[in-house]
Amino acid sequence: MLELYGQTFSSRLLLGTALYPSPAIMADAIKAARSEIVTVSLRRETAGGKTGGQFWSLIQSIGVRVLPNTAGCHSVKEAVTTAQMAREVFATNWIKLEVIGNHDTLQPDVFGLVEAARILSEDGFEVFPYTTDDLVVAERLLEAGCKLLMPWCAPIGSARGPQNADALRSLRGHFPDVPLIVDAGIGRPSHAAAVMELGYDAVLLNTAVAKSGDPVAMAGAFAKAVKAGREAFLAGPLEPRDMAVPSTPVIGMAAFS
Amino acid sequence: MKALVKGAGVAGLTLAFELASRGADVTVIEKRHRLAGSASWAAGGMLAPWCERESAEEAVVTLGRLALDWWETVLPGHVVRTGTLVVAPARDTSELDRFARRTTGFTAIGEEAIAALEPDLAGRFRRGLFFANEAHLDPRRALLALKDRLVGMGVRFEFGYGAVRVPETVDIEADCTGVEASVPGLRGVRGEMLLLHAPDVSLARPVRLLHPRFPVYVVPRADHLFMVGATMIESDANEPVTARSMMELLGAAYALHPAFGEAEIVEAGVGVRPAFADNLPRIGREANRISINGLYRHGFLLAPAMARQAADMIFNSQRELADAAHH
């Protein structure tokens, strides 16, 4: 079971709710993924009006836990204000914290991230920080009050898959007891399986499903990959070797001539 | 047969036309004091079923195909059949591949063909997709002309129609009020658009600029006016355009052609599109009430097909009633 801030989940696939062809397809994709947690952007989905009305009630009707995010925030102040608004709108103290440092790569501003994480943790939030794979930043985030980490494996929406498996492995090695969720950069189910095989606790993705040719089918494919990766990790994958090793012993084999 | 159509957006006016041309006595009532202000008024006016397939269901293509001929027949001279050009900046050409995979009815073209179609875009894009069979119209001119046509056919209009007055007895009442209708499952999707006056830019057809974050289209209107649209926000807020959206729209227009940087911002408009969860339109029917709703971002494209279906339903059931009365 996946445990996040004291709550347990059987699904290790978290889905975003943006960019789908329609809310109906989104709902079907969430079901196909068997996700129990979905992220929702406060900025876009609830800008004024009857607070996103139907869209929000559709997400509620699916019966999943909502993880609001601060997508698109470029400063500590903006992220903190958005988080506080999200707490009111979605009635949860969970927050996926994004503080963007670079407009083109959507790379996290790790300095602002640590600062915002501290402010929000002290304010009673349970923070899910979207960070890079930097080890030192990870330590600072945990010091700031985060109980889990969400490193990227490639830039948001890039679909490039794990760019630095060694850094991901190193994070896993340094924080064996901290839930680690790969957030951003996953493009294909094989990418998700690869990070799960490294021992990551879960993956969070959006574009790879929402913008695929068939989001519902792709969500199902990701669910299988995440499960396969997790089971492979638990089973203990074979380490790579430099030499070929025959699977059938050669010595003592009958020789036919 | 007496019909009352509520709502003078594209859904209401097309239905009024289909009913009146079948001989019904039609009255259109509209809460606003004029045609301006509806979601249709803020529309792009693209008749682009093949492009829309990128994010829409196949039904949008099958229903939308009818629209080109419908508008041309009803309002001769309004439909400009110059196709659609889809381009992407060099670093986002994977968006072009994705668009091509999800659509049909285009020719993949290179730099020279782009320059031949749109001389002002010469040298700016190396690859594009040309959807030759698509068309566009100016939605505001079309709505005004359709209203005039309807008046000529004997359709009555009442604007500024408050809720206080009780409608006269009618045989059929049609609700085409978009997001203002109380239909279960209907939601609003906010769209923001800009109208730019750019004397230095000439375009012959709508151009879609693909971008992973801010895809936009630029639709040329008369006198170097360009409609730049449109944001898609899950909200029914009708408030003015936000700075963020305006920056996105302007940034994209500027990326298409730097001369848009010198344009005058003539208008920054907002419309709230009515949509159901599957983003497909629906006809609702209950006794002598009918509704057309959920046209989403495909008002001008899908309204003719929906209006025709609704009018068929109304006249078929009237005929059945008449037959039953005779027996």
Closest among A18, A14, A35, A37 to A26, alpha carbons compared: A18
Which residues in A lie closer than 8 A to residue B235 (C-beta atoms)? Answer: 44-49, 51-53, 55
- Alpha-carbon separation of residue A127 from A119, A146, A149, B247 (angstroms): 10, 6, 9, 30
Residues 105-144 of B with CB under 8 A from A: none
CB nearest to A157's CB, from B212, B277, B279: B212
Note the pLDDT of residue B97: 93
Distance between CA atoms of residues B219 and B225, nearest Å: 9
Reported as a pLDDT band with limits 50, 70 and 90, residue A247 is confident
How far is the first Cα of chain B from the last one, in angstroms, to the nearest whole number?
20
The mean pLDDT value of chain B amounts to 93
Q: Helix axis angle, A110-122 relative to A76-90, nearest 10°? A: 40
Q: What is the pLDDT of residues B61-96, one digit of tens each?
A: 999 999 999 999 999 999 999 999 999 988 888 899
Q: What whole-number percentage of chain B has pLDDT above 70?
A: 98
Note the pLDDT of residue A255: 65
Phi-psi category of residue B81: left, alpha or beta, with phi > 0 → left and psi -120 to 50 → alpha: beta
Q: What whole-number percentage of chain B has pLDDT above 90?
A: 83
Three-state SS letters, chain A: CEEECCEEECCCEEEECCCCCCHHHHHHHHHHHCCCEEEEEHHHHCCCCCCCHHHHHHHHHHCCEEEEECCCCCCHHHHHHHHHHHHHHHCCCEEEECCECCCCCCCECHHHHHHHHHHHHHCCCEEEEEECCCHHHHHHHHHCCCCCEEECCCCCCCCCCCCCHHHHHHHHHHCCCCCEEEECCCCCHHHHHHHHHCCCCEEEECHHHHCCCCHHHHHHHHHHHHHHHHHHHHHCCCCCCCCCCCCCCCCCCCCCC
Note the pLDDT of residue A253: 66
Reported as a pLDDT band with limits 50, 70 and 90, residue A202 is very high
Closest among B314, B273, B16, B286 to B143, alpha carbons compared: B16
Q: Higher confidence at residue B169 or residue A49?
A: B169
B257 pLDDT higher than 70: yes
Cβ distance of B235 and A45 shorter than 8 Å: yes
Asked if the peptide bond before residue A83 counts as cis, ω within 30 degrees of 0, the response is no
Cβ distance of A54 and B279 shorter than 8 Å: no
CA distance B234 to chain A (A): 5
Note the pLDDT of residue A51: 47
- For testing contact with chain B, the best of A22, A28, A106 (most B CBs within 10 A): A22
Note the pLDDT of residue B163: 58
Longest dimension (CA), chain B: 73
Domains delineated in chain B: 2-62+137-184+277-326 (3.40.50.720), 84-132+187-275 (3.30.9.10)
Cβ distance of B237 and A47 shorter than 8 Å: yes
Tokens of B3: 């019909």
Closest among B160, B172, B100 to B130, alpha carbons compared: B100
Cβ atoms of A203 and A186 closer than 8 Å:
yes
The phi, psi pair for B179, rounded to 5°, reads -60, -15
- Told to judge if A77 belongs to the known catalytic residues of this protein, a careful annotator would answer no
Mean pLDDT, to the nearest integer, of B312-322? 86
Cβ atoms of A179 and A152 closer than 8 Å:
no
Establish if A74 touches chain B: CB-CB under 8 angstroms. no
Note the pLDDT of residue B93: 87
Establish if B57 touches chain A: CB-CB under 8 angstroms. yes
As for the ipTM of the complex, it is 0.78
HSE-CB at B168 with a 13 A cutoff on CA atoms is 11
Note the pLDDT of residue A105: 84
Closest chain B residue to A72, measured at CA:
B244
Establish if B185 touches chain A: CB-CB under 8 angstroms. yes
Q: What is the pLDDT of residues A26-38, one digit of tens each?
A: 999 999 999 999 9
Q: What is the pLDDT of residues A206-222, one digit of tens each?
A: 999 999 999 999 999 99
Q: What whole-number percentage of chain A has pLDDT above 70?
A: 92
Note the pLDDT of residue B322: 79
Mean pLDDT comparison of A61-65, A247-251, B160-164, B203-207, highest-scoring range:
B203-207
Q: What is the pLDDT of residues A40-65, one digit of tens each?
A: 987 654 545 454 567 778 888 888 99
Which of A41-55, A184-198, B87-101, B281-295 is least confident?
A: A41-55
Closest chain B residue to A46, measured at CA:
B235
Options A77, A96, A211, A224, the catalytic residue: A96
Q: Which residues pair with A65 in a beta bridge?
A: A37
Tokens of B60: 């949008």
b/e burial code for range A222-250 (CB count within 10 A of at least 16 → b): bbebbbbbbeebeeeeeeeeeeeeeeeee
Distance between CA atoms of residues B25 and B133, nearest Å: 36
Closest among B301, B13, B319 to B147, alpha carbons compared: B13
B325 pLDDT higher than 80: no
Establish if B35 touches chain A: CB-CB under 8 angstroms. no
Q: What is the pLDDT of residues A99-115, one digit of tens each?
A: 999 888 889 999 999 99
Mean pLDDT, to the nearest integer, of B148-152? 97
Mean pLDDT, to the nearest integer, of B186-198? 94
Residues 130-149 of A with CB under 8 A from B: none
Which residues in B lie closer than 8 A to residue A50 (C-beta atoms)? Answer: 236
Distance between CA atoms of residues A53 and A92, nearest Å: 18
Reported as a pLDDT band with limits 50, 70 and 90, residue A252 is low
Establish if A55 touches chain B: CB-CB under 8 angstroms. yes
What pTM was computed for the model?
0.85
Q: What is the pLDDT of residues A128-169, one digit of tens each?
A: 999 999 999 999 999 999 999 999 999 888 889 999 999 999
| Binding site residue list of A for 1-deoxy-D-xylulose 5-phosphate | 157, 184-185, 206-207
A249 pLDDT higher than 70: no
Which residues in A lie closer than 8 A to residue B234 (C-beta atoms)? Answer: 23, 44-46, 52, 55
CB-based burial of residue A136 (10 Å sphere; 0-12 exposed, 13-18 middle, 19+ buried)?
A: exposed
| Binding site residue list of A | 157, 184-185, 206-207
